[in-house]
Amino acid sequence: MMEYEYGAFRKESDFHNRCCGGMLWCIRDICGIICAILTWLLILYAEFVVMSVILIPSPYPFYSIVNIIIFQLCAFLAITSHLKTMFTDPGAVPKGNATKEMIKQMGFREGQVIFKCPKCCSIKPDRAHHCSVCQRCIRKMDHHCPWVNNCVGENNQKYFVLFTASKALSLFQFYIATISLHSLFLAINQFLMCIRHEWKECTAYSPPATVVLLLFLMFEALLFAIFTVVMLGTQVQAIWNDETGIEQLKKEEARWVKKSRWKSIQAVFGRFSLLWFSPFARPTTKFKSESDLYSV
Active site residues: 145
d(CA 284, CA 278): 12
The phi, psi pair for 122, rounded to 5°, reads -120, 150
d(CA 156, CA 89): 7
Please spell the DSSP secondary structure of 6-75, one letter per residue: GGGT--S---TTEETTTTEE----HHHHHHHHHHHHHHHHHHHIIIIIIITT-S-HHHHHHHHHHHHHHH
d(CA 78, CA 96): 36
- 183 burial type by CB count under 10 A (0-12 exposed, 13-18 middle, 19+ buried): buried
